[in-house]
Every structure is written in structure tokens, then in C-alpha cells.
Chains A and B, each alone.
Chain A
Amino acid sequence: EAGVTQFPSHSVIEKGQTVTLRCDPISGHDNLYWYRRVMGKEIKFLLHFVKESKQDESGMPNNRFLAERTGGTYSTLKVQPAELEDSGVYFCASSQFVLGPGSGYTFGSGTRLTVV
């Protein structure tokens, strides 16, 4: 089966601009997660979709971040306007069933976002 696909793999934008990251989960996976790793720190949870609904968005840093999953398939994460501290690697993961935290997750390769 195809894995979790993220696009782009790398994005460099100027402070104040808008960027949209995309994640295509494995087909049939209802659960989709966004995580991010800021330089030198641990990977942190951003939010969790079940189909098109936001199950948990407790990790979203502020209202400059907007995640959507229309139709319950692919998801986008928009940052508007981007700030320097938003730089990092944004990971997406998907799973078919919620068997317990992390089990059955398949991660994508991540999008490296650099804000200059």
C-alpha cells in the first residue's frame, strides 16, 4: 500500500507569508495526525482528525494555524502569517483504527518549513 505522502518536502518562505502543507494519508485511514518538530526540541502533537472532524486540537500553537480535512481524505495545514518560530519539520501520520496511542501509526516523511 502507498504510504503517507506529504507535500512539499521542503518550503522556504519569508516571515509574514502564507504556507499550506498537505498530507495524503493511507487510503481508508480514518485517523490523521499532525505533529511538528522545532529545531533542537522534541516532536510535538498538533492535532488529530477522525475522518473530517477534529478530535483533538489541543496542540495547535495559536490561531495562525488552520488545519482542514474536507471530505475526510487529505488534510491541509495552513500557517498564516508565518513567523520565524514556525520553522521546523511538520509530520503527518495516519492510522486505520484507534488501538491505543501510537499503535498502527504510519508517519509521512515530513515537510521541512523554513521561515526567513
Chain B
Amino acid sequence: EDKVVQSPLSLVVHEGDTVTLNCSYEVTNFRSLLWYKQEKKAPTFLFMLTSSGIEKKSGRLSSILDKKELFSILNITATQTGDSAVYLCAIGKDNTDKLIFGTGTRLQVFP
């Protein structure tokens, strides 16, 4: 059965800290790995990764995929209170348009 596991489940840090969120997966017919940020309601898209070793970057956020070890990390540097959210990892598979989600990592950033 396909599985997506995120760790840690929850993280509390102070502003300015750097955090690393993990996502490991076991799926058949892997196509892509996606990261979403869910603040209050709707998940919003952050990154889509399809190739190993190529870092994607957007401001203070970056992510990389390792298809050999079956995991991805999402890094956030110099965290701000606005980074507080649930970060979701999801896998896309070939031959289907549905996503398989992990349970998410809840990040709380305090001033």
C-alpha cells in the first residue's frame, strides 16, 4: 500500500531559526512530490519535485528530492511568524491525477 510519512509531526521554534521538514514515501509508479502550505484553510502550492538532487528555491524556502532513498526535505531559513502553518507533502503517481498526502508537519514560529 502506498505510504507517505512526514516528520516531525509538530515543531515549535523561535523567529530566525532554520527548520528542516522531512517527507519519506513508499509508492508504486512515483511521478512527483509536492509540498503545500496550509495556514488556516486552503492548502497553497509551494514546490513540485520530479528529479533527484535538483534544489528548488523560493525565497527562504527550498526543497530537494532523493529518489534513491525515497525522501524529500523542505528547508525554511530565518523563520518568521508568518511561516506558522501545516506543511503537507504529497505524491503524484503515473496514470492518475490524484495525490497521496502525508499527515503534515505543524510548524509554530514564536517571536
Contact = CB atoms under 8 A, between A and B. Distances in A.
Interface of A: 3-4, 31, 33, 35, 40-45, 48, 55-56, 58-59, 91, 98, 100-103, 105-110
* 6 closest residue pairs by CB, A with B: A101-B92, A109-B41, A45-B98, A43-B101, A107-B42, A102-B34
6 contacts: A42-B103, A43-B90, A107-B36, A107-B42, A109-B41, A110-B42
Contacts of B50: 100
Contacts of B96: 56, 101
Chain B's interface size range is: 20 to 34
Contact of B97 (A31, A41, A91, A108): A31
Given A40-B103, A100-B92, A102-B90, 20 more contacts: A33-B97, A42-B101, A42-B104, A43-B88, A43-B101, A44-B101, A56-B96, A98-B97, A100-B31, A101-B92, A101-B93, A102-B45, A102-B48, A103-B45, A103-B48, A105-B45, A105-B99, A108-B42, A109-B41, A110-B41
Nearest to B93: A101
Secondary structure at the B interface, as helix, strand, loop or mixed, is strand
Interface in B71-111: 88, 90-93, 96-104
